[in-house]
Amino acid sequence: MKLKPTNEKTSRLNYVVQATWADQINARFDNPESFFVSISERLEEILERMESAEDELAGAIKVFKKNNPNFKWEDVELVQSLECVLGDVLIDDTMNRPVVFEHVLNILRNFDETKVMALNVYVDPARPGKYVAWDGQHTSILLYIIAVTVCGKSVNKVKVPINIYKTTNKAKIRENFIVLAGEGKEPISALALFTNKVFGVRLDGSKNPNWIAANEKQNLLASAGLFLTEKSRGDMTKPGAITQVETIDNASLETVECFCMYWRARKAKQYRRAESKELLLMLQFIQMCRDQKIKITDKYFEDAVEIMWDCFDCDFTCTKNMKRYFDKVEVAYRNWFKSKFHPKCEYEELSEDEQTLHPRYDMTKKSGTEKQDPYVIAFLIEQLRHSGFKHKLPKSSAESTLGFMPAAEDLW
C-alpha cells in the first residue's frame, strides 16, 4: 500500500548523522528550534521504521471497511468547532509523544465519528498559515488514513475540527499537553513525559526544577553513550539503550551521574544495551554507596568493571539459558541457605511452617523482585572483595539478606 507522495522528505533521525545510534537519538534534543513535520511525513516515518506497520495498517483498513461498508467522507459529521484543511496541520515533533501506532489502528478498527475530538492547536509565527497540533497527533493520523488513504481525498481539501489556543507560550502549552492527556487518550508514556521535560527546558526556557533535573540527566546520559527508548520505537537492542525511563526520571541526579560513570567503564569493555536488571542493580548498589558516604569516582567503577568483566563479562542478562551471573548467585545462595537453615535435610523435607519461616528464593528468575535483589547485590560486593577490589565497599543489610555470605568456593 502506497501513501500519496509528499513534497518534503524529512526524518527526525536523519537530522544529524552521528557515529552511533545513541548519538543520533540524543541529537534530537540539540536542535535549538521546534521541529515541524506534516501528518503524511509522520505516517511515512512510522511505516518505514516498523517492519509490520504496512501489513497491520492494511488489516485495520480491511476491518474499517467491513464495519463501514458504504463509508463516504462527505457523510462524516465530526464535532463542531473551528475548521482548517488537514494539510495545514503540522505536528511539533518536540512536543508530541512518540506515536503509538497500535492505538491509531485500534481507533481505525473501531471508528466512531462521535468520539473524534477536535485537534488542539496553536499558531506559530515561524509557520504562518499553519496550525501546530500540540494535542491530537493520533487523531490527525487517523483522519489522514481515512480521508486520504481510504477515501482518496486531497489532504488540502479535507476539513477537520480544531481548537485554536491563543498563546505562543510553549512552556505552558507543553505543561497542558501533559496534564490534559486523560481518559480516552493514549496515556503519556514515561519516554514522552521525560522528552517533554527536556524540550521544555531547552526550547521553552521552563524553570520547573523537576524538568531542569531531567535535562541535566539527559546531558549525562548522552555524554556516556546512553539513550532512553521504549518498546514502540523498535530500537531497544541498540547499544546504549535504556528502557527503564521512569526509573531514570525518578532517580536522583547524583545517582544517574554515578551510573554514567559505571557505563563509561562498561562501554570500554563492550558497547551494548543496558540490561534492565543491570540498571536496577547498579542503581541500588550506587544508592548503598551514597547512603554509607562512600565516594564514587570514575576510577572506582573502572576497577569494579575490570573485575566484573574478568568474572562474568559484566553480563547481567537474566533471560532463559542466558543467566550466567544469576546462576552463580543461585548456587552460592542455595549452598549458604542449606548450611544455615537445613544442614541435615533437603529443603523439600522441611515442614510447611519451616518453609514459611525461611522461604527460599529463586535467584535465576527473570525479574527485578525486591526480595531477590539484596542477595544478588551482596554476592557482587563479596565478589569484588574476593577479587581484590581496592576501594571501600558498602555493607549489605543483614536484615534484608539474613546475613547471606557466599562461600569462597562459590565465587569466581
Q: How confident is the model at residue 6 (pLDDT cuts 50, 70, 90)?
A: very low
117 dihedral zone (left: phi>0; alpha: psi -120 to 50; beta): beta
The candidate with the shortest Cα–Cα distance to 36, out of 134, 177, 163, is 134
Average pLDDT of 239-256?
96
> CA torsion 85→86→89→93, rounded to 10°?
180
Those residues whose C-beta lies under 8 Å from the C-beta of residue 219, and which sit 6 or more positions away, are none
Residue 297 lies in a domain: no
Could you say which of 121, 155, 174 is where a domain stops? 174
Residue 384 lies in a domain: yes
Q: How many CB atoms lie within 10 A of CB 151?
A: 14
Residue tagged 542503581 (cell numbers): 283
Q: What is the mean pLDDT of residues 51-56?
A: 88
**CA 71, CA 180: separation in Å to the nearest integer?**
32
Q: Residue 186 has what pLDDT?
A: 64
117 is a domain residue: yes
Highest mean pLDDT pick, 13-27, 50-64, 383-397, 398-412: 383-397
Q: Which of 139, 174, 209 is the last residue of a domain?
A: 174
In a domain, 32, yes or no: yes
- Residue 297's pLDDT is 97
Structural domain count, the chain: 2
Can you give the pLDDT at residue 352? 87
Mean pLDDT of 244-253: 96
The DSSP element (H or E) to which 107 belongs, if any, is helix 101-109
Burial of 5 (0-12, 13-18, 19+ CB in 10 A): exposed
pLDDT at 288 over 90: yes
Which residue in 192, 252, 182, 241 sits closest to 217, CA to CA? Answer: 252
Residue 303 forms part of a structural domain: no
Whether the per-residue pLDDT at 181 is higher than 90: the answer is no
CA distance linking residue 245 with residue 192, whole number of Å: 10
Q: Could you tell me where the beta strands, DSSP code E, fall in 19-92?
A: 36-38, 82-85, 89-92
Average pLDDT in the chain:
87
Q: Which long-range contacts (CB under 8 A, 24 or more apart) does 293-296 make?
A: 294/391, 294/392, 294/393, 294/394, 296/258, 296/261
Diameter over CA atoms, the chain: 83
Residue pair 178/196 in contact (Cβ under 8 Å)? The answer is yes
Mean pLDDT of 44-66: 89
pTM: 0.66
For residue 156, being part of any structural domain is answered with yes
Grade residue 16 by pLDDT with cuts at 50, 70 and 90.
very low
Phi-psi region of 248 (alpha: psi -120 to 50; beta: other; left: phi over 0): alpha
Query: Does 18 fall in a domain?
Result: yes
55 CB-contact burial (10 Å; exposed 0-12 / middle 13-18 / buried 19+) = exposed
Q: What is the pLDDT of residues 325-368, one digit of tens each?
A: 999 999 999 999 999 999 989 888 888 888 888 888 888 765 54
Please answer whether residues 12 and 31 qualify as being in contact, where contact means their C-beta atoms are separated by less than 8 angstroms.
no
Q: What is the distance between the alpha carbons of residues 385 and 391, in angstroms, rounded to a whole number?
A: 9
Q: What is the pLDDT of residues 140-175, one digit of tens each?
A: 999 999 999 999 999 999 999 999 887 777 777 777
Domain annotation covers residue 404: yes
Three-class DSSP category at 134: strand
Structural domain harbouring 337 = 324-410
pLDDT of residue 95: 73
What order do you get walking across the sheet with 36-38 strand by strand? 36-38, 89-92, 131-135, 119-122, 159-164, 82-85
Q: Which three cell numbers stand for residue 92?
A: 511539533
Give the 3-state secondary structure of residue 249. Answer: helix
What is the per-residue pLDDT for 100?
A: 84
Of 142, 174, 206, which one is at a domain's C-terminal end?
174
